Structure 1
Amino acid sequence: MAAQDQDSRAGLLTWTSLTPIAALVLLALTWGRDPNALVASIVFVVLVGAVLAAVHHAEVVAHRVGEPYGSLVLAVAVTVIEVALIVTLMVSGSKDTSELARDTVFAAVMISVNGIVGLSLVVGALKRSGTSGLAVFHAEGTGSSLATVITLATLTLVLPRFTTTEPGPEFSGGQLAFAAVASLLVYLMFVFTQTVQHRDFFLPVEAHHDRGLPDQDADGHADPPSNRTALFSLGLLLAALVAVVGLAKVVSPVIEDAVAAVGFPHAFVGVVIAALVLLPESISAVRAAARERVQISLNLAYGSAMASIGLTIPTIAVASIWLEGPLTLGLGETQIVLLMLSVLVGVLTVVPGRAKPLNGGLHLAILAAYVFLSIQP
Structure 2
Amino acid sequence: MKASITNPTNWLAKLHTRVPIWCIALPAFACILLVILHGRSLGPVLAFISLVTLLGVVLVAVYHAEVIAHRVGEPFGALVLALAVTVIEVSLIVSMMLSDAGDASSLTRDTVFATIMIVCNGVIGLCLLLGALKHQRVSFRVEGTAPALSVIATLATLTLILPDFTFTTEGPTFSNAQLLFAGTMSFLLYGLFLFVQTIRHRDDFLPEKQPDEDHDAHHSAPSKGAFAASLVLLLLSLIGVVGLAETMAPLVEAAVVSFSLPHAVVGVAIALMVLLPETMAAVRTAMRNQMQIGFNLALGSALASIGLTIPTIAAISLYLELPMDLGLPPTEMVLLVLTLFLTAITLTGGKATILHGAVHLVVFACFLFLSVIP
Using the size of structure 1 for normalisation, the TM-score is: 0.88
Listed as ranges, the matches of 1:133-144 within 5 Å are: 134-144=137-147
Q: Please tell me the residue identity of whatever aligns with 1:144.
A: P
Q: Please tell me the residue identity of whatever aligns with 1:15.
A: W
CA distance in 1, matches of 2:212, 2:123: 22
1:123: Cα distance to partner? Answer: 2.4
Matched, 1:315 2:312: yes
Instruction: Evaluate the alpha carbon distance shift between residue 88 and residue 54 of structure 1 in structure 2; reply closer, same or farther with a 3 A threshold.
Output: farther
Q: Deviations over 1:261-288 (max 9, x none)?
A: 2332101112112111112211111111
Matched, 1:285 2:282: yes
**Matched residue, 1:207:** 210
**Matched residue, 2:113:** 106
1:50: Cα distance to partner? Answer: 3.9
Matched, 1:151 2:148: no
**Matched residue, 1:214:** none
**Matched residue, 1:180:** 183
**Matched residue, 1:326:** 323
CA distance in 2, matches of 1:376, 1:323: 34
* SS of the residue 2:104 aligns to: coil
Aligned pair partner of 1:169 in 147, 166, 172: 172
CA distance in 2, matches of 1:291, 1:374: 33
Q: Deviations over 1:315-368 (max 9, x none)?
A: 222332566752111111111111111111111112221112211111111111
Q: Deviations over 1:154-184 (max 9, x none)?
A: 1111111112222210122222221111111
Q: Deviations over 1:127-146 (max 9, x none)?
A: 322xxxx2111111110111
Instruction: Evaluate the alpha carbon distance shift between residue 135 and residue 247 of structure 1 in structure 2; reply closer, same or farther with a 3 A threshold.
Output: closer
Instruction: Evaluate the alpha carbon distance shift between residue 316 and residue 115 of structure 1 in structure 2; reply closer, same or farther with a 3 A threshold.
Output: same
Q: Please tell me the residue identity of whatever aligns with 1:24.
A: C
Using the size of structure 2 for normalisation, the TM-score is: 0.89
Unaligned runs of 5+ in 1: 211-216
1:88: Cα distance to partner? Answer: 3.0
Aligned pair partner of 2:260 in 259, 263, 268: 263
- Which of 325-334 and 76-85 deviates more? 76-85
1:94: Cα distance to partner? Answer: 6.8
Aligned pair partner of 1:75 in 69, 79, 82: 82
Give the CA RMSD over aligned residues. 2.6
Matched, 1:370 2:367: yes
CA distance in 1, matches of 2:242, 2:291: 31
Q: Please tell me the residue identity of whatever aligns with 1:309.
A: I
CA distance in 1, matches of 2:217, 2:56: 32
1:119: Cα distance to partner? Answer: 1.5
Instruction: Evaluate the alpha carbon distance shift between residue 295 and residue 3 of structure 1 in structure 2; reply closer, same or farther with a 3 A threshold.
Output: farther
1:222: Cα distance to partner? Answer: 8.3
CA distance in 2, matches of 1:19, 1:158: 41
Matched, 1:191 2:202: no
Q: Please tell me the residue identity of whatever aligns with 2:13.
A: Q
CA distance in 2, matches of 1:363, 1:135: 15
Matched, 1:58 2:65: yes
Listed as ranges, the matches of 1:30-69 within 5 Å are: 30-36=37-43, 38-69=45-76
**Matched residue, 2:273:** 276
Contact 2:84–2:235 at 8 Å: present in 1 too?
A: no
Matched, 1:228 2:231: no
1:255: Cα distance to partner? Answer: 3.3
Contact 1:101–1:270 at 8 Å: present in 2 too?
A: no
Aligned pair partner of 1:97 in 89, 104, 110: 104
* SS of the residue 2:172 aligns to: coil
Aligned pair partner of 1:361 in 355, 358, 362: 358
* SS of the residue 2:183 aligns to: helix
Aligned residues: 367
CA distance in 1, matches of 2:287, 2:326: 36
Q: Please tell me the residue identity of whatever aligns with 1:263.
A: S
Matched, 1:128 2:163: no
* SS of the residue 1:309 aligns to: helix
Instruction: Evaluate the alpha carbon distance shift between residue 3 and residue 296 of structure 1 in structure 2; reply closer, same or farther with a 3 A threshold.
Output: farther
* SS of the residue 1:178 aligns to: helix
1:11: Cα distance to partner? Answer: 6.0
Q: Please tell me the residue identity of whatever aligns with 1:79.
A: T
Instruction: Evaluate the alpha carbon distance shift between residue 96 and residue 15 of structure 1 in structure 2; reply closer, same or farther with a 3 A threshold.
Output: same
Contact 1:256–1:266 at 8 Å: present in 2 too?
A: yes
* SS of the residue 1:219 aligns to: helix
